[in-house]
Structures are given as structure tokens and as C-alpha cells.
Amino acid sequence: MRKAYGFIVLGVVLLLVGSYVGLFVAPAEEYMGQVQRIMYVHVPTAWNWMLAVLFAFGSSIAFLFTANTKWDARQEAGLEVATLFAFLLCCQGSIWAKPTWGVWWDWDPRLTSVAVLLFAFLGILALRQFVDDPQRRAVWSAVATIIASVDLPIVYYSVKWWNSLHQQQSNPNTVSSQFHLPLRVNAFGVLFLMIGFIMLRTRLANYRLAREMAMPPVVSADQAGELA
Amino acid sequence: MMLAAALRKEILLQWRTRSQMMAVFVFGAASLLLFSFAVGPNAEMLRTFSAGFLWLGLLLSSTLTLSESFHSEMENRALEGLLLLPSDPRALYYGKAIANWLQLTILGCALVPVMVVLYDAGTTQLLKLLLIILLGTAGLSAPGTLYAAMTAQVRAKQTLLPLLLFPLIVPALLASVKATSLVILGDPMQQSRSWIALLGAFDLIYWSLCGLLYGRVVEE
Amino acid sequence: MTGGVVVGGWGFVIAAYTVTAIGFLIYGVMLITKLRDEQSRAAADGDKQ
């Protein structure tokens, strides 16, 4: 428990430091001006989003092979954190796009893939809400997460292709060397924050699962006759 | 051959409920009509987006046909009964997926004349169009059948199926619309082949992956 | 839009950082609150038994 809180505190501290450097110390970029500074939160969030998706995917496979509910708890945590990060990425990306391209959304393949996976994961979270049987919920959620994760690269390539027919501008999301420090610091900051979140969320899921298992199943009178 | 038996059962079921197919076709055609009202009587614009409307109409209709396809399994706990048979559950999956695929293909082909009339979007390359419809509906049918199996057994199934399916089939939708659009509006650089190849790859991946996972979805 | 310079934009930068910070904060608070709830509930159930 303490480890999780430790991660979170460490993550927040790193983020404060990194953001301070990124906002006030690093020089403004040549063409992008101040708006470039958004990259110091956007890129770290993006990297860690990928990690969260990978974690959810790995947990799903682990659950299907081991049938150990701890993996289901981890998967639930990974799903939720990845969904949060995807949502933040869409917000950040949109805020970046407006001053840069003049529109709130420019169908950048990376961001569009995030948006698609955001909806996919929201759907899986909804599925988890509507299935009452814990075993079934875990299996179905794992299957759905695997399918959605496998889809991610396919979505990326198809959108990239689809958009390349119209895209005249390139997206200069690369960061030149003098800007590396705040980026790296923030990347670790978000990483530790994410690890802390996942640890806590897994714990929460484990508690809820334990409570579910302990309760006697709700059986109505006519169902009871059938079960006997 | 369990697959042949499963397929035969599905097609028989679909034939017996063919009046429902008619209703779904009307739903699809009505959607295409509504799209033109949403866009306005601009012939040029309607023609430009006709491929998109066709596939959107088909996608929306698929949520009806896919969820219906497990209706009979839900009665009298037939799904469990089928699982007790000494056969690979994958045969049941592929039988249903193929039957759904056929159904969507027929629906797609039936909506083409509607599209031609409403949007002035004709083409002479009918075989290519048929190929695109076949590959595109296959992309809808594979994950759609898997998720229909899941959601048939839960509450709020009407909402969950599209919620789960729509993000997943984005590549299939993109590629189908793009390829169809090129067939209708002209394809000077022969790009449609690449989109058809993407569709093929998507289908391959999903028909294998979903078949693999189906057993876990319906086991008790 | 190449070769131009994006002027100003501090508003957007602040917006992006704020949205991110608020997102993390709200999620963190919700998570910790729910966790505390579950922990006290588990403790209460433990006492009952």
C-alpha cells in the first residue's frame, strides 16, 4: 500500500519539477512558439498510455491462461487507467491542434487511433458493468481487451493511410535535443503516477471481487426451483 | 462435418425468418433516405459521399441482424444444449459467422440500387463492387458474431453490441468506404487494390482471432 | 502552415497542463476515496465475523 502512495508522490514531484522546467526554463521553440511546451505533458502521457494498454493486454492473456482472478483485477485497473490517459491525450491533442492547425481535430493518425481505442475501452468498461457473474465478466473482458488491443495497430495503419491522401502538413511532434530534460523528467513522473494508480486500482478491484465472492448469490423463488 | 451442419442450420433459420430480413432492408433503405435529408438535395455532394452512406447504412443494419442471430440460442437455453454436443464450439461460431456474412452481403447488394437511385452513384464495375461488399461485410461479421454471442446473454444488449463493435471495425469501415468510393467516383491511380488488400488482411486476422476466442466466450 | 510562427499560445499551454493536472487529481482522489471505503467495509465485515 505504502509503495503505491510512494509511487504517486514521487510521480507528482517529478511532474512538478519537469513541468516547471518545461514551462519556465526551456526556451520557446522556433516555429511553434510557446505552444510547443504542450509536448512536455502530451508525449509523456502518450508513452505511458501505450504502456497501460500493453499492461491491460498482458493481464488479459495472463488471465485466460492462469484463470487467476488477480489478473482480472490488474486488467480492470489497466483498462481504467488507459481510458483516463486516452481521454487526456485527446484533450491535449485537441488543445495543441487549435493554435497549430486552426482546427480542434486534424485526424492525425496517432491521435485518431487513441480516440478509437478510447471508445473501444469505454465499451469494455461498460461490458464489465453489465455482466454480473464475476467469472464470465473476467473472461469476456479479457477476450474483448485482446481483440481491441490487436486492433490498435490495424487502426493506426488504416487511418494513417486514409489521412495521408489529404494530409498536406506533417506533424512536427519530434522534439529536438535541447528539450529532452523536461520530457524525460515528466515521462518518469507520469510513469510513476501510473504505476501508483494501477497498484491502487488493482487493490480496489481485489477488494470488490472478494466482497462479490463472499456474498451468497441472489436467487429468486422460481430460479431456486430450477437450480435444485 | 460439424461446420456444414452448423451452416445448414443457420441458413435454414435465416430462411424461415426471411420476413425479418425484409424489415432490416427497409430499415437500411430508410437510413439512406435520411442521410440525404441530413445532407440536403445537393446532387454533387450526395454522390461524393454515397459510399460512406451505403456503408453506414449497412453498419447500422448489421446491429439488428447480428443481435437477432443469437435469438434462437437464447430460447430454452439452446446455447448450453449445443455446447453439450461432442463438437468443437468453433464450428458453431464459424457457421453463424458465415451465415451472418451471407445475410449482410445480400443486404449490401440490395442497398446498392437504393444508393444508385438516391445519390446518382452508379458504377459499371459491379464485380469489383461485389468483392468489396463481400470483404467488408466479412469484416463486420467476424467480430460482430463474437460480440453478439456475448451480449445476447446480458442486459442492455441492444446498446452493448454497437458500443463494442463500432470502434473495432473502424479499419474495415474506412477501407470499404474508400474502395467503394473509388469504384463509384473513379480510380485513376488504381488505389482500390490497396484498400481491398487491407480489407483482406483485416478479415484474415479477425476470422482467425475471433474463432480462437469463441470457445472461451460461451463456455460455462 | 509551414514557415509561419505561432504567436502567443500561453492560454493553450496553460489549458493543456491544467486539464492534465485536473484529470490526474480527480482520478486520484476518486480512487483513494473508493479504496478507503472498501477498506473500512472489509474491516467492518471482518469485525462482524
The residue with cell 448469490 is A217
Which domain covers residue A26, as residue numbers?
Answer: 2-165+178-212
DSSP A94-135: HHHHHHHHSSS----HHHHHHHHHHHHHHHHHHHHHH---HH
Beta bridge pairs of residue A29: A33
Assess contact for B162 and B102: CB atoms under 8 A.
Answer: no
Kindly list the partner chains of chain B, i.e. chains with 3 or more CB atom pairs below 8 Å.
Answer: A
pLDDT digits (tens, 9 = 90+) for A19-49: 888 888 777 776 777 888 888 999 999 999 9
Count CB-CB contacts under 10 A for residue A6.
14
Contacts of C12 (CB under 8 A, 6+ apart): A35, A38, A95, A96, A98, A99
Residue B148 has pLDDT above 80, yes or no: yes
A8 in C contact zone (CB under 8 Å): yes
A29 in B contact zone (CB under 8 Å): no
Half-sphere CA count of A179, side-chain side, radius 13 A: 22
Count CB-CB contacts under 10 A for residue A207.
18
Structural domain includes residue A221: no
Q: CB distance A150–B209 less than 8 Å?
A: yes
Three state DSSP letters for C3-48: CCCCCCCHHHHHHHHHHHHHHHHHHHHHHHHHHHHHHHHHHHHHHH
DSSP-derived secondary structure letter, A38 = G
Kindly list the partner chains of chain A, i.e. chains with 3 or more CB atom pairs below 8 Å.
Answer: B, C
- Separation in Å, CA of A87 to nearest CA in chain B: 15
**Distance between CA B67 and CA B19 in Å, rounded?**
16
**Residues of chain A contacting B207 with CB distance shorter than 8 Å:** none
Q: What is the mean pLDDT of chain B?
A: 90
**pLDDT for the residue B1:** 63
Largest interatomic CA distance in chain B: 58
Nearest CA in chain A to B173: A158
**Distance between CA A1 and CA A7 in Å, rounded?**
10
Contact call for A and C: 3+ CB–CB distances under 8 Å:
yes
**pLDDT for the residue B141:** 96
Average pLDDT score over residue span B79-104: 83
A98 in C contact zone (CB under 8 Å): yes
Assess contact for B219 and A138: CB atoms under 8 A.
Answer: no
Assess contact for A112 and A168: CB atoms under 8 A.
Answer: no
B79 closest CA partner among B166, B19, B151: B151
Which of left, alpha, beta for A7 (phi over 0: left; psi -120 to 50: alpha)? alpha
Assess contact for B148 and B161: CB atoms under 8 A.
Answer: yes
Structural domain includes residue A198: yes
Q: Which of A8, A34, A36, A48 is the best residue to mutate to test the C interface, defined by the most C CB atoms within 10 Å of its own CB?
A: A34
Q: CB distance A197–C28 less than 8 Å?
A: yes
**Number of domains comprising chain A:** 1
B8's grid cell: 445448414
- Which CATH number is A145's domain given? 1.20.120
Question: In the A/C pair of chains, how many CB contacts fall below 8 A?
Answer: 90
**pLDDT for the residue B116:** 93
A111 in B contact zone (CB under 8 Å): no
> Could you give the ipTM of this predicted complex?
0.90
pLDDT one digit per residue (tens) for chain A, 228 residues: 788 898 999 999 989 888 888 888 777 776 777 888 888 999 999 999 999 999 999 999 999 999 999 999 999 999 999 999 999 999 999 999 888 888 899 888 999 999 999 999 999 999 999 998 999 999 999 999 999 999 999 999 999 988 877 665 555 555 555 568 888 999 999 999 999 999 999 999 999 998 888 877 666 555 555 554
Largest interatomic CA distance in chain A: 76
What type of residue sits at position A109?
A: P
**Distance between CA A142 and CA A136 in Å, rounded?**
10
**Distance between CA C5 and CA A32 in Å, rounded?**
6
Domain ranges of chain B: 2-218
Q: What is the pTM of this model?
A: 0.90
A214 in C contact zone (CB under 8 Å): yes
Q: CB distance A147–B213 less than 8 Å?
A: yes
- Which residue intervals of chain B are DSSP H helices? 2-16, 18-39, 43-48, 50-68, 71-74, 78-84, 89-119, 126-151, 157-168, 170-185, 192-218
